[in-house]
Structure formats: structure tokens, C-alpha cells
Structure 1
Amino acid sequence: MPRLRCLPPLVALLALAGSAAAQSPNQPRITPGPNEPDWVAILKGIYGLDMFDDLLNPLETTADATPGLFRKAGDGPISYTPILALGLVTVNRGGIYVPGAEPGQPTKRELWAYEFKHEGRDLERWENIPPPLLDGSTVSIDPGDRVFGFWLSNDGLEDGGVFTQPAEVRAINDRLAEQPYKAMIYPYVDPETGEKVPNSYLIGWEYSTNDDFQDVVCRVDNVVLIENENGK
């Protein structure tokens, strides 16, 4: 049976849209935008992943319990690459941060920015993927031995952005403080081979309130997701 990634991407994604009706009790309800592939469709159609079974940062009884920090996995830089741009067309920015002593005190470093939105034609032809980055952007950085997280923001929303740690979102972003879980993290699967790539992760980001988790879909490499608050 051929993998769905081999089909025209938009056709495959829309065919799967809405196929996951079940919701874990602690997870936000995933709500796709009109005429857009939803998150379950992107995960299944391109990467062969299940939205809940393959999720690496499940929402626990409190958002603070959700892991969202990383360490570098090996020598050299890490990379943080936007793949799909399905959110607001105003400038999107992404980077890493080092958490402070308390939530709300991160030290942020911007890596890239783009002003672009993938349309149906881009997905049908698999063009402009990744989105074109603005001058001065980079997807690579060497964070050293520090523990760090990833962040994302959109210039159309002056709210401090969203972070892989829900506690940072709650402390910084008043607009989203009541729903701070804004990054769903999965193993990265090579769409062509169907194999998981070591030390590589897929992140579905949400910076609005509808929780479709595909405003920006990113890949991060040469990193290890920390599994608990003790940094292990």
C-alpha cells in the first residue's frame, strides 16, 4: 500500500482531515481552520504519525508538568527549521531560549523570520517548502551544554510569543495564559523512508486560540527532549 506522502499532498491531507475524533481527556481539542488540513491529517498524511500515540510531550494534570526543554545531542550546532507556514501571513519569528530562575524570565535568541503563508497550490505541488526566510535568518546555532527551549512569535500578535514550556507561555502571554499548551512535539519521521530520524523532532505550533497546531510546523535536529523536570 503506498504511503500517503506519495500522493499530491493537499489531496492526501484533506482526505484525512477530521479523521481523529477521539480526544485524550487532558489534551486541548484540535480544531482545524476552514479549508485547511488539520493537524492529525498533516501528521498522518506526511509523517505517518498518530496525534496522541506518538506525542512526546503529553499534557499532564497541570501544564507545568509538560516537558518542553532540550539538550544538544552531539557535536556541532543544532538546527530549528520551519517546514510548513499555515498561520498568519505577517512576519513569523523563531528561535531558542534559555529559561530563567522563574517562568517569565527567558533569555531569547532569534534565529529566523519569514513573511509567507503556504496556500493550496504550494501544498499540491510541494513548492516553497520550507518557506523562504528573510535576510539575516539562520536555522543553526550552537547552544553549548545549556538546557534550552524553542519559541515562536508573529508580529501581528504583540503578546510575547509562545514557548515549548507552557509555564513560560502562562507567565509571558496574557492572551494565551488560560491555554498555554502551544507546542506538540513528536519524533521526526523522514517522509520518504518512513523511518524515525535520531535526535530529530517535529513540532506543531499554535499561537492563536483555536488550537489547530499547524500555524508553523518545524523540525529540530541534533537535540534530545528532556523527559522530566530534573533534566533527564
Structure 2
Amino acid sequence: MTKRSYFRSAAAALSLAMATVGAAPGQTPAQPKVVPGPNEPDWDVVLRDRYGLSMFGDLLNPVRTTAAQTPGLFRKAGPGPVTYRPVIALGLETRNRGGWYLPGPGADAPVKVETWTYTFKNTTRDLESGANLPPPLEPGGSLAFDPGDALFGVWASNDALDDGGVFSEPSLVARVNKRLAAQPYKAMIYPNRDKATGKTIPNSYLIGWEYSTNDDFQDVVCVLENVRLRIEP
């Protein structure tokens, strides 16, 4: 190999290595970027350290074409209620709310059913020590509900933001939330995994919510159980 050929090969290898480092494994070209949270644990770190999950490798609802065509509805998996519970709170400290809904026809906003509220914010130290997890719920709420056999979605919101909240269906966010219509993908859905055993928990999902615009996807982290994700939009 001549000296000139050697340097050309080395330059090509360096360019390939830099491109590889800059790409996130498993991330589709249409997938919104995830931004590190300010003075908070990053979403990829939370997934890896607490659940043994890959941020894009284990993502069940990636944006493959458009956000509007990305699935976000569930169906109950078996007898008994569905449970929907917040497990980490890293968003705004004003009141956070969560619940479920049945999809409405056409452009109509769905009827939201609220199941829990909390006014709390975890710290990085909480996640390191396990303190204050899950966040304390306010009285009067419930973690369980029964949607019957119907397809349904889940939602989250914060009282400091005057909008319709965010929904597991990106298409619904685009329809009813003017503030976020241009970036409606606000829930990243994963299989819930027991890190200690490495086994996936059947019919259980982990959801990272983003109700702001910085897309760190850990404003509220929830577990949804006794359901199956409908993969089709």
C-alpha cells in the first residue's frame, strides 16, 4: 500500500467511526431526538440502570414514518382491572395528573378519566438511593380501572401547562393540543423488565412521558399493567 492510499484508508475509517458514534443504535430516521434533561438523569441512563432497557433497541412505538401513524392504544390482557401508576417524577413540581380515555370519533377530544394526581419532583439522588420512589400520590386517586374490552389510551398532564395534556396516541396530541401539534410524539413505550432477573414482565409496559417541549421523555415515568399494546396505528 502506498503512503497516499494508507492515508485515504485511514481517513475513510475515521469518518465511518465518527458517523457510527453519532448514530443511536435502533433509532429510525423519523424518530424524534431525545435531549438530556437539565440537572436530571438522562432517559437512556434511567432505562439502562433501573430497567436494563435500551432507549431505542427496546422501544415498542418508534416513529417509522410519521408521528400520526405511530401506535398508542392498548387493550386489556386478562381478567381484573388495569393498573396505571407513576413510578418516577422528574417534570414540573406543580400538580401532575394521569388517567385513561376511550378514543373519540374524528376530531373530537376524548373524554378523559382521571385516576391519580401528585405534586412532587424526584431528584437525581432519589433515583440513586431509591428514596421517594414512587412519588407520593394525593388522596382520592386510584391506580386501577377497567376499560372492558375496548381499545383505550392513557394520558398525563401538568397544571402549569394550559392545554389538553399529552396522550399515548401521537395523532390525538396533534389534534387537541395546539402547543404540541408540531411535535406530538410524547410517549415512549417499552416492555417492563425486571432488571434483577432480566425477564420481561408479561402484559406490563413502561412509559416515558414528555409534556414539555425539550423532549427529555422523563417528566413522568409510568407502569401500565394487564394490557397489550396494539402495534397497528
TM-score with structure 1 setting the length: 0.87
From the superposition, tell whether residues 160 and 20 of structure 1 become closer, same or farther in structure 2 (CA, over 3 Å). farther
From the superposition, tell whether residues 20 and 185 of structure 1 become closer, same or farther in structure 2 (CA, over 3 Å). farther
Kindly indicate whether the alpha-carbon contact (under 8 Å) linking 1:104 and 1:168 is maintained by their aligned counterparts in 2: no
RMSD: 1.4
Kindly indicate whether the alpha-carbon contact (under 8 Å) linking 2:41 and 2:124 is maintained by their aligned counterparts in 1: no
For 2:96, give the aligned amino acid: N
Kindly indicate whether the alpha-carbon contact (under 8 Å) linking 1:92 and 1:152 is maintained by their aligned counterparts in 2: yes
Structure 1 portions without partners, runs of 5+: 1-18
Residue 133 of structure 2: aligned partner: 129
SS in 2 for 1:217: strand
From the superposition, tell whether residues 51 and 124 of structure 1 become closer, same or farther in structure 2 (CA, over 3 Å). closer
Q: Distance in 2 between matches of 1:154 and 1:92?
A: 4
Once the two structures are overlaid, the 10-residue window that deviates more, 159-168 or 60-69, is 60-69
* Rg larger in structure: 2
TM-score with structure 2 setting the length: 0.87
Kindly indicate whether the alpha-carbon contact (under 8 Å) linking 2:28 and 2:62 is maintained by their aligned counterparts in 1: no
Q: Distance in 2 between matches of 1:39 and 1:63?
A: 20
Residue 71 of structure 2: aligned partner: 67
The correspondence of residues 77-96 of structure 1 with structure 2, limited to 5 A, is 77-96=81-100
Instruction: Output one character per residue of 1:18-39: Cα deviation in whole Å (capped at 9) or x when no partner.
Output: x985253111111112221111
Say which of 185, 194, 198 aligns to 1:194.
198
Kindly indicate whether the alpha-carbon contact (under 8 Å) linking 1:20 and 1:40 is maintained by their aligned counterparts in 2: no
SS in 1 for 2:175: helix
Q: Distance in 1 between matches of 2:116 and 2:87?
A: 12
Does residue 31 of the first structure (1) align with residue 35 of the second (2)?
A: yes
Instruction: Output one character per residue of 1:21-69: Cα deviation in whole Å (capped at 9) or x when no partner.
Output: 5253111111112221111111111111111111111112121210000
Once the two structures are overlaid, the 10-residue window that deviates more, 95-104 or 216-225, is 95-104
Residue 112 of structure 1: aligned partner: 116
SS in 2 for 1:198: strand
Percent of residue pairs identical: 61
For 1:160, give the aligned amino acid: G
Residue 210 of structure 2: aligned partner: 206
From the superposition, tell whether residues 80 and 92 of structure 1 become closer, same or farther in structure 2 (CA, over 3 Å). same
Structure 2 portions without partners, runs of 5+: 1-20
Q: Distance in 2 between matches of 1:177 and 1:142?
A: 30
Tell me how far 1:81 sits from its aligned partner.
Answer: 0.7
Tell me how far 1:195 sits from its aligned partner.
Answer: 1.0
Name the count of aligned residue pairs.
Answer: 211
Say which of 199, 221, 231 aligns to 1:227.
231
Does residue 218 of the first structure (1) align with residue 222 of the second (2)?
A: yes
Instruction: Output one character per residue of 1:156-180: Cα deviation in whole Å (capped at 9) or x when no partner.
Output: 0011100000111011111100000
The correspondence of residues 124-163 of structure 1 with structure 2, limited to 5 A, is 124-163=128-167
